Amino acid sequence: MPGHAAYAIGPGTLRLIEGDITVDTADAIVNAANSALAGGGGVDGAIHRAAGPKLPAACRDIIARIGSLPAGGAVITAGFELPARHIIHTVGPIWRGGDQGEPEALRSAYAESINRAVENHLAVVAFPAVSTGVYGYPVHLAAPMALTVMAEALRDGRLREVRMYLHGKAAFERWRAAADEALGGDAG
C-alpha cells in the first residue's frame, strides 16, 4: 500500500503521498521542468505526456517571450488534459556541491511556485521533489528546506493544502522522516 502522511500546519494541511502526481486533482501541480520547458525525463516527461499535445505549444510561447526559465523561477500554464487545472513549471538547480547557489535556487523554486499559485488564486498545490532526481540534489538537504517553505505558506494561509508526491517507498520514508523532524512530531 502506498505511503501517506498528513500534517496540520496553521489553517492548512501538508500531505506526503507516495504516488503519481499526474493523477492529482489539485488546483495546480508543479512540474520539475528544464530551463527550456521542453519536457524531458522523470516527472517532467510524465507531466508532458499526461497533459497532452497542447502543453508543448504553451511552453514554447512562454520561452519565446522570456528566453529561458532560470533555476529558481516559475511560470504557470493550463493543465490541459490533466485532472489539475494548472501546471506550475519550475526549474530546480543542478547539484554541484552546494556552494554555487543551489540552496538559494531550490528555495526560490518552491517559493516562486507558491507565488504563482497565490497570484492565480489557487488553494491546493501538488509538488514533486524538485531537483532530487537526475539533478542530484541530496534529499537530506532538499527535504527540510522544501518542507519549511511549504509550511510557511500553509501557516500564513496563502495555501490551504500542499501535497508532496514522492516516487517509491524509500523516497516517501526519507521525506516522512524529514517532515517529522522539521514539522515537530508524527503525522496524523
164-187 per-position pLDDT tens digit: 999 999 999 999 999 999 987 555
Retrieve residue 135's grid coordinates: 539533478
Instruction: Look up the CATH number of domain 4-182.
Output: 3.40.220.10
Q: What is the pTM of this model?
A: 0.96
| pLDDT (tens digit per residue) in 53-62 | 999 999 999 9
Contact 26, 113 (CB under 8 A): no
Determine whether 186 is an active site residue. Answer: no
| pLDDT (tens digit per residue) in 25-79 | 999 999 999 999 999 889 999 999 999 999 999 999 999 999 999 999 999 999 9
- Spans of all domains in the chain: 4-182
User: How many residues can be counted in the chain?
Assistant: 188
d(CA 112, CA 119): 10
Catalytic residue among 20, 24, 27, 44: 44
Nearest to 151 by CA among 115, 187, 182: 182
